[in-house]
Chain A
Amino acid sequence: MKKVKAIVLRAAGINCDMETEDALELAGAEAQRVHINRIIEDKSALNKCQILVFPGGFSYGDDVAAGKILANQVVHHLYEPVQKFIDAGKLVLGICNGFQVLVKAGILPGDGQSGGQDTVTITYNDSGKFEDRWVYLVPQTEKCVFIEAGRQIYLPIAHAEGKVVTKDEAALETLKSEGYVAFKYADENGEEGPYPVNPNGSVDSIAGLTDTTGRILGLMPHPERHVRTTQHPHWTRLKDRTDGDGMTIFNNAVKYVKENL
Chain B
Amino acid sequence: MRQWRFEVFNRSGFSDVHGNSILEEIKEFGISSVEAVQSAKVFLIEADFDDDFAQRVGKELLSDPVCEEYYIGRSGPPAGLAKATLIEVHLKSGVTDPVAESVMAALTDMGMEAGNVRTARKYVLLGDIIQRQTDTIAKKILSNDVIETVIVGSEAEPPSPHLKPYELQIVHWPIRDLDDDGLVALSKEKDLFLNLVEMQTIQKYYRELGREPTDVELESLAQTWSEHCVHKTLKSSVDMSIDGKEIHFDNLLKDTIFKATKQLNKSWCISVFVDNAGVVEFDKDTAVCFKVETHNRPSALDPYGGAATGIGGVIRDPMGTGMGARPIANTDIFCFGPPDKKLEDIPKGVLHPRRIMKGVVAGVRDYGNRMGIPTVNGAIYFDERYLGNPLVYCGNIGIMDKNKCFKNPQSGNIIIVVGGKTGRDGIHGATFSSGEITHEYEAIFSHAVQIGNPITEKKMLDVLIQANEAGLYEAITDCGAGGLSSSVGEMGQNLGAEVDLEKVPLKYGGLNYNEIWISEAQERMVIAVKPENVQAIQKIFDSENVESTVIGKFTGDKKLILRYNARQVAEMDMDFLHDGVPKYSRKAVWNTPELTEPSITEKDNYNEELLQILSSYNVASKEWVIRQYDHEVQGSSVVKPLTGVKNDGPSDATVIRPRFDSDKGLAISCGMNPMYGDIDPYWMALAGIDEAIRNLICVGGRADRIALLDNFSWANCTKPETFGALVRASQACHDGSIAFDSPFVSGKDSLNNEFSCEDGTQISIPSTLLISAISIVDDVNKCVTMDTKRSPNLLFVVGETKNELGGSHYYKINGQLGANVPKVDIEKAPKIAKKICAAIEQGLIVSCHDCSEGGLAVSLAEMAFAGGLGIEADLRGLPKSKDCTRVDAQLFSESNSRYIVEVEPENYDAFAKLMLNAPFGQIGKVTAENTLTVKAEDGKKVIEQDLDSLKQAWQKPLAW
What is the interface of chain A, defined by CB distance below 8 A to chain B? 10, 12-16, 18-19, 22-23, 35, 37-38, 56-58, 60-65, 68-69, 72-73, 75-77, 104, 116, 118-121, 123-126, 128-134, 156, 158, 165-167, 222, 224-225, 227, 230-231, 233-234, 236-237, 241
Tell me if B787 counts as interface (CB < 8 A to partner A).
Answer: yes
Given contacts A128-B18, A131-B627, A234-B643, are A76 and B110 in contact (CB under 8 A)? yes
- Of the candidates A35, A61, A119, A237, which one forms a contact with B66 in the assembled complex, judged by CB atoms under 8 Å apart? A119
Q: How far is the CB of A128 from chain B (nearest CB, A)?
A: 5
Q: How far is the CB of A166 from chain B (nearest CB, A)?
A: 7
On chain A, the residues within 8 Å of B632 by CB distance are 132, 156, 158, 222, 225, 231
Beta-carbon contacts of B484-527 to A below 8 Å, as 1s and 0s?
00000000000000000000000000000000000000000000
Q: How far is the CB of B626 from chain A (nearest CB, A)?
A: 8
Q: How many CB-defined contacts (below 8 Å) exist between A and B?
A: 183
Complex formed: what's the CA distance from A64 to B104 in Å? 11
What is the interface of chain B, defined by CB distance below 8 A to chain A? 14-15, 17-18, 20-21, 41, 60-62, 64-67, 98-99, 101-103, 105-106, 109-111, 365-366, 369-372, 453-455, 458-459, 462, 543-545, 626-640, 642-645, 647, 657, 660, 780-781, 783-785, 787, 789, 846-847, 867
Q: Tell me if A35 and B544 are in contact (CB < 8 A).
A: yes
- Of the candidates A118, A120, A130, A134, which one forms a contact with B630 in the assembled complex, judged by CB atoms under 8 Å apart? A130
On chain B, the residues within 8 Å of A230 by CB distance are 638, 657, 780-781, 783
On chain B, the residues within 8 Å of A37 by CB distance are 543-545
On chain B, the residues within 8 Å of A231 by CB distance are 632, 635, 637-638
Q: Tell me if A10 and B462 are in contact (CB < 8 A).
A: yes
On chain B, the residues within 8 Å of A68 by CB distance are 61, 64, 106
Complex formed: what's the CA distance from A4 to B136 in Å? 60
On chain B, the residues within 8 Å of A116 by CB distance are 65
- Of the candidates A38, A57, A73, A125, which one forms a contact with B106 in the assembled complex, judged by CB atoms under 8 Å apart? A73
On chain B, the residues within 8 Å of A128 by CB distance are 17-18, 20-21
Q: Tell me if A72 and B106 are in contact (CB < 8 A).
A: yes
Complex formed: what's the CA distance from A130 to B21 in Å? 13
Given contacts A121-B64, A237-B787, are A61 and B21 in contact (CB under 8 A)? no
Q: Tell me if B370 and A58 are in contact (CB < 8 A).
A: yes
Nearest CB in chain A to that of B365: its residue? A130
Q: Tell me if A16 and B372 are in contact (CB < 8 A).
A: yes
Complex formed: what's the CA distance from A16 to B371 in Å? 10
Given contacts A76-B111, A234-B647, A234-B785, are A61 and B67 in contact (CB under 8 A)? no
Given contacts A61-B455, A72-B109, A233-B647, are A120 and B66 in contact (CB under 8 A)? yes
- Of the candidates A14, A222, A237, which one forms a contact with B789 in the assembled complex, judged by CB atoms under 8 Å apart? A237
On chain A, the residues within 8 Å of B846 by CB distance are 236
Q: Tell me if B99 and A64 are in contact (CB < 8 A).
A: yes
* 3 smallest beta-carbon distances between A and B, as pairs: A15-B372, A19-B635, A63-B102
On chain B, the residues within 8 Å of A121 by CB distance are 64-67
On chain B, the residues within 8 Å of A75 by CB distance are 60
16 A-B pairs, CB-CB below 8 angstroms? Answer: A12-B458, A12-B544, A13-B370, A13-B455, A22-B660, A58-B370, A60-B106, A68-B61, A69-B105, A104-B64, A156-B632, A167-B66, A230-B657, A234-B785, A236-B639, A236-B783
Q: How far is the CB of B107 from chain A (nearest CB, A)?
A: 9
Complex formed: what's the CA distance from A77 to B637 in Å? 36
Complex formed: what's the CA distance from A115 to B949 in Å? 54
Q: Tell me if A58 and B17 are in contact (CB < 8 A).
A: no
Q: Tell me if B61 and A72 are in contact (CB < 8 A).
A: yes
On chain B, the residues within 8 Å of A63 by CB distance are 98-99, 101-103
Complex formed: what's the CA distance from A14 to B462 in Å? 10
On chain A, the residues within 8 Å of B660 by CB distance are 18-19, 22
- Of the candidates B14, B41, B462, B867, which one forms a contact with A123 in the assembled complex, judged by CB atoms under 8 Å apart? B14
Q: How far is the CB of B843 from chain A (nearest CB, A)?
A: 12
Q: How far is the CB of A43 from chain B (nearest CB, A)?
A: 15
Q: Tell me if B643 and A233 are in contact (CB < 8 A).
A: yes
Nearest CB in chain A to that of B636: its residue? A19
- Of the candidates B17, B61, B454, which one forms a contact with A64 in the assembled complex, judged by CB atoms under 8 Å apart? B61
Complex formed: what's the CA distance from A231 to B637 in Å? 6
Q: How far is the CB of B870 from chain A (nearest CB, A)?
A: 16
On chain A, the residues within 8 Å of B103 by CB distance are 63-64, 69
Given contacts A16-B633, A128-B21, are A65 and B628 in contact (CB under 8 A)? no
Complex formed: what's the CA distance from A15 to B374 in Å? 11
Q: Tell me if B64 and A123 are in contact (CB < 8 A).
A: yes
On chain A, the residues within 8 Å of B454 by CB distance are 13, 58, 61
Complex formed: what's the CA distance from A225 to B631 in Å? 11
Complex formed: what's the CA distance from A62 to B372 in Å? 13
Complex formed: what's the CA distance from A126 to B17 in Å? 7
Complex formed: what's the CA distance from A227 to B636 in Å? 11
- 7 new A-B contacts at CB < 8 Å, known A60-B106, A121-B67, A132-B632: A19-B634, A61-B99, A64-B62, A123-B66, A158-B632, A233-B642, A237-B867
On chain B, the residues within 8 Å of A237 by CB distance are 644-645, 785, 787, 789, 867
Given contacts A61-B370, A237-B789, are A165 and B645 in contact (CB under 8 A)? no
Q: How far is the CB of A14 from chain B (nearest CB, A)?
A: 8
On chain A, the residues within 8 Å of B629 by CB distance are 132
On chain B, the residues within 8 Å of A126 by CB distance are 15, 17
Q: Tell me if B14 and A165 are in contact (CB < 8 A).
A: yes
Complex formed: what's the CA distance from A69 to B99 in Å? 10
On chain A, the residues within 8 Å of B545 by CB distance are 12, 37
Complex formed: what's the CA distance from A15 to B98 in Å? 18
Nearest CB in chain B to that of A106: its residue? B65
Q: Tell me if A236 and B66 are in contact (CB < 8 A).
A: no
Q: Tell me if A76 and B787 are in contact (CB < 8 A).
A: no
Q: How far is the CB of B331 from chain A (nearest CB, A)?
A: 16
On chain A, the residues within 8 Å of B544 by CB distance are 12, 35, 37
On chain B, the residues within 8 Å of A133 by CB distance are 627, 647
Q: Tell me if B105 and A60 are in contact (CB < 8 A).
A: yes
Complex formed: what's the CA distance from A23 to B647 in Å? 24
On chain A, the residues within 8 Å of B645 by CB distance are 234, 237
Q: Tell me if B637 and A131 are in contact (CB < 8 A).
A: no
Complex formed: what's the CA distance from A145 to B638 in Å? 30
- Of the candidates B15, B366, B635, which one forms a contact with A22 in the assembled complex, judged by CB atoms under 8 Å apart? B635
On chain A, the residues within 8 Å of B459 by CB distance are 12-13
Given contacts A158-B630, A158-B632, A234-B785, are A13 and B109 in contact (CB under 8 A)? no
On chain A, the residues within 8 Å of B370 by CB distance are 13, 15, 58, 61-62
Complex formed: what's the CA distance from A190 to B958 in Å? 30
